[in-house]
Amino acid sequence: MSRAVVFEEYGGPDVLKIVDVEPPKPGPGQVRVRVKAAGVQPFDVKQRRGDTASWAPATFPQGGGSEFAGVVDELGEGVREFAVGDSVLGPTSGTAHAEHALAKATNLVPKPGGMPWEEAGALSASGQTAHTALQALSVGAGETVLIHAATGGVGSVAVQLARAWGATVVGTASERNHDYLRELGATPVTYGDGLVSRVRDAAPGGVDVVLDAAGTEEAIQASTELLPERERIGTIAGQEYAERYGIRVLGTERSAERLVQLVELYETGALRVRIDAVFSLDEVADAHRAVEAGHVRGKVVLTGTA
Ligand SMILES: NC(=O)c1ccc[n+]([C@@H]2O[C@H](COP(=O)([O-])OP(=O)(O)OC[C@H]3O[C@@H](n4cnc5c(N)ncnc54)[C@H](OP(=O)(O)O)[C@@H]3O)[C@@H](O)[C@H]2O)c1
C-alpha cells in the first residue's frame, strides 16, 4: 500500500487526511515516482479551501501537490526518457503529496546529484511560474524590475532569474526579510503606505517592468503609478484587479526545457532554492497552515519517503 494526502470536502487544514491506497499505475507516457520531497504552494491551500472551485474544482477524494522530486519506480508504456531508479524532479497535477506520484515523463528532468531532495522537490512550480512571467514580460539586461512579494516561493526565484538575466531588481517584503532580499540580489522596499515613493527612492531611474506576486490592490495600483506601460506589468495573483487597472494576467507554462534552464542555473550557483520549513506527510495540515499564513520565506516542503 501507499500513503497519500486527500481531502473529501472543502474546508480548513483539518479536512486533510492521510489514506492508504494502492500505488497508482502509470499510464502511457507516465512514470511512477517514489516521492522524496514535494513543495506546498498557495494553490494547494486555495484548492482545499474551495477558492479555485470555479476554475480548478476539486474531484473528491482530491489529492494535493504540483511539484516533487523522487526516484522513478515504474514506467508506463512508451517511456524512453527515464529508467527505474533514476532521480527526477518536476511537476505533476495534484498527486505529489503522497508516497507515490504519477507524472508525465516528458515534463520531468534529472535531479542533479548534489541537489538536496527538499530543494529539488520545491523548484519546479514556483520556478516555472517565475521563469514564464519574466519571459512574458520580456525582462532584459539593463532593465529595472519591480517584484512584489519578492521573498515568497515565486518571488525568490524571480529575483534571482531577473538578476541572472542582467536586470536590476527592487523587491517588496516586510522588514524582517530585507537582509534575505539583499542576499538574493535585490534592493528591498517595505510594502504598505508610501510604497510608491519608497520604490522611487530605490529606483531613481524608474521601473521598466513589474511582476506582481502579492495580488493586492496596493501592489497593482502602485505599479500603475510607477509604470505607464501597462503591457509590462503582469500579475500572477491579482486577477480580480487586473482588468480594472489594465495590466496583464500571467500563468505558468511548464516545459522540460524551462526546467532544464532552472536546473542549469542552480548548478552554476546563480539560483538558490530557500527552504523555510520541512514537514512530514503526517504534518500536512501544519504545512498548509504555514503557507496559508502568507509569510513563507522561500518554500515549504513535505517529505515523502525516507
Ligand atoms: N498564476 C499562476 O500560474 C501562479 C503560479 C504560482 C503561484 N501563483 C500565485 O502567486 C502568489 C504568490 O505565490 P508564492 O508561492 O510566491 O506565495 P508565497 O510563497 O506564499 O508568498 C509569501 C510571500 O508573500 C509576501 N507577502 C505577504 N503579503 C504581502 C504584501 N501585502 N505585499 C507584498 N508581499 C507580501 C511575504 O513577505 P513578508 O513575509 O515579508 O510579508 C512572503 O514572503 C499566490 O497567490 C499564488 O497562488 C500563481
**Domain shared by 170 and 109, yes or no:** no
Question: Which of 156, 296, 300 to probe ligand 1 with, by most ligand atoms within 8 A of CB?
Answer: 296
pLDDT per residue over 132-180, tens digit each?
999 999 999 999 999 999 999 999 999 999 999 999 999 999 999 999 9
**Domain shared by 146 and 243, yes or no:** yes
Report whether 213 contacts 151 (CB < 8 A).
Answer: no
Q: What is the C-alpha separation between 210 and 166, in angstroms, rounded?
A: 15
148 CA to centre of ligand 1 in angstroms: 8
- What is the CATH classification number for the domain harbouring 174? 3.40.50.720
The amino acid present at 246, given as its one-letter code, is G
Q: What is the pLDDT of residue 304?
A: 75
Instruction: Look at residue 187 and tell me if it is in a domain.
Output: yes
**Domain shared by 132 and 234, yes or no:** yes
How sure is the predictor about 306, in pLDDT bands with cuts at 50, 70 and 90? low
**Domain shared by 20 and 101, yes or no:** yes
Domain of residue 158: give its range. 128-249
pLDDT per residue over 250-269, tens digit each?
999 999 999 999 999 999 99
Q: What DSSP letter does each residue of 231-294 carry, written as one string?
A: GGEEESS-HHHHHHHT-EE------HHHHHHHHHHHHHTS----EEEEEEGGGHHHHHHHHHTT
pLDDT per residue over 76-88, tens digit each?
999 999 999 999 9
Query: Does residue 28 have a cis bond before it (omega within 30 degrees)?
Result: no
Nearest Cα neighbor of 100 from 186, 22, 194 is: 22
Instruction: Look at residue 116 and tell me if it is in a domain.
Output: yes
User: What is the side-by-side strand order in the sheet with 209-212?
Assistant: 186-189, 168-172, 144-148, 209-212, 233-235, 248-249
89 CA to centre of ligand 1 in angstroms: 22
Atom of ligand 1 nearest to the CA of 216: 31
- What is the CATH classification number for the domain harbouring 293? 3.90.180.10
Q: What DSSP letter does each residue of 167-212 carry, written as one string?
A: -EEEEE--GGGHHHHHHHTEEEE--STTHHHHHHHH-TT--SEEEE
Instruction: Look at residue 256 and tell me if it is in a domain.
Output: no
**Domain shared by 179 and 159, yes or no:** yes
**Domain shared by 241 and 285, yes or no:** no
| Residue 90 Cβ < 6 Å to ligand 1 | no
**Domain shared by 142 and 203, yes or no:** yes
The answer to whether the pTM exceeds 0.75 is yes
| Residue 216 Cβ < 6 Å to ligand 1 | yes
The amino acid present at 265, given as its one-letter code, is L
| Residue 152 Cβ < 6 Å to ligand 1 | yes
**Domain shared by 151 and 53, yes or no:** no
**Domain shared by 11 and 118, yes or no:** yes
Residue 114: pLDDT over 80: yes
**Domain shared by 84 and 176, yes or no:** no
**Domain shared by 282 and 214, yes or no:** no
Supply the mean pLDDT for the chain: 97
- Quote the longest CA-to-CA distance of the chain: 60
Residue 117: pLDDT over 90: yes
**High-pLDDT (> 70) share of the chain, %:** 99
Instruction: Look at residue 154 and tell me if it is in a domain.
Output: yes
Could you give phi then psi for residue 262, rounded to 5 degrees?
A: -65, -45
Question: Which of 151, 159, 241, 248 to probe ligand 1 with, by most ligand atoms within 8 A of CB?
Answer: 151
pLDDT per residue over 173-223, tens digit each?
999 999 999 999 999 999 999 999 999 999 999 999 999 999 999 999 999
**Domain shared by 117 and 132, yes or no:** no
Domain count, the chain: 2
Q: Would you tell me how many other CB atoms lie within 10 Å of the CB of residue 253?
A: 13
Residue found by looking up cell 503526517 in the block:
282
